[in-house]
Amino acid sequence: MTATGSAAVKTAMTSATQAKASARVATNAPPSPAATPHPGRRRVALAAAIGAVLALAAVSLFVGVSDVTPLSLFQADTDSHALQVFLLSRVPRTVAIVLAGSAMAICGLVMQMLVRNRFVEPSTIGTTEAAGLGLLTVTILAPGMPLIGKMLVASVFALASTLVFVRILRALPLRSVVLVPVVGLMLSGVIASVSTYVAFDHDLMQTLSAWLTGDFSGVIAGRYELLWIVAALTVAIYIAGDRFTVAGLGEQFTTNLGLNYRRTLAIGLILVSIVTSVVVVVVGALPFLGLVVPNVVSLAMGDNLRRSLPWVAVLGAGFVLVCDIVGRVIRFPYEIPIGVVVGVVGAALFLFLLLRKRARVG
């Protein structure tokens, strides 16, 4: 980002804050908690949230069928079964949960900012389903392709689906708050139907189901390292956070500030598509995660992406950790796939947010 672009972004953020403050004064309304800056208090709260997530991660390390406890690890030698399970399964699984949970929550935040609607995320606009269709296609046409190649193909399909969704939105005469996610769900249904037909025709229904149902039970050392790509892309999203925030104010406003709206939109959609594809390839889909967490954070933090991003990442990781632990203990020693748990909880919260929004609009 050039010095001129950075200055323009900062000016835009300041102008938006001043406009909101003026509107509150004009209406004699008290400032909202999200608009009142409390840097010290926010830092303390964020540190507490990170501590809670670390505690959940510690619990996750010792939940499972195998008898792995801190005492058994302390007394174990290098060849013990408990130590091998801990290093080869429990640690990779917990790291994968944290990376995937935070990444998908951040993808939802970026998508909502760019589309300018609080009820969209990769699993509600066809991005996740398109990534699954890409994996299905490459499995049929080039089954021997390396995992990184499959990820790239899935990314191309995911990006194409996202661009189709954005194009449909541009063609809509009226962007209702509720209509936008409905259009996204319809597109998701169409892509899912195509995937189901192709999978059924090639006897790959079980494989497709595994991709579209998040499950961390198969994550072991050597099968989750692609998720570190997600961590790098998350840093890139944070660096470009101010640009995405300005782009969320609209094309005309962004262009007036001297920023290239279409380029910013393209960068955001590419990042979201790659992150979604990596998560689908490694662990499967995590539905509604990118919808629920950003909405909860925005209630307290407002619409500044860079300020909200750490909270979204932390709460996304914590939410997935909780759901994974619940899935492992609710029918112990059996395990419910995390995609099912996240889907049930996320769908309920999505419906609550949707009805709450409609009530406020009405």
Cα 251 from Cα 317, distance rounded (Å): 32
> pLDDT (tens digit, 9 = 90+) per residue, 96-143?
999 999 999 999 999 888 888 888 888 888 888 899 899 999 999 988
Whether the bond between 122 and the residue before it is cis, its omega within 30 degrees of 0, is: no
Residue type, 9: V
> Which long-range contacts does 44-52 make (Cβ < 8 Å, 24+ apart)?
46/310, 46/311, 46/314, 49/311, 49/314, 49/315, 49/318, 50/314, 52/318
Pairwise CA distance, residues 198 & 164, whole Å: 21
Q: Where are the domains of the chain?
A: 40-61+85-361
Q: In CATH, which superfamily holds the domain spanning 40-61+85-361? A: ABC transporter involved in vitamin B12 uptake, BtuC (1.10.3470.10)
Tens of pLDDT, residues 19-51 = 444 433 333 334 444 444 466 787 888 899 999
pLDDT of residue 32: 43
Assessment of whether the complete model's pTM goes beyond 0.85: no
pLDDT band at 306 (very low <50, low <70, confident <90, very high): confident
Q: Which residue has the higher pLDDT, 69 or 188?
A: 188
The answer to whether 212 touches 136, Cβ cutoff 8 Å, is no
Question: Residue 76: pLDDT band by 50, 70, 90 thresholds?
Answer: low
In the numeric block, which tokens belong to residue 153?
A: 């193909």
pLDDT of 208 > 50? The answer is yes
- Alpha-carbon separation of residue 317 from 105, 153, 182, 277 (angstroms): 8, 27, 27, 18
- What rounded mean pLDDT belongs to the chain? 81
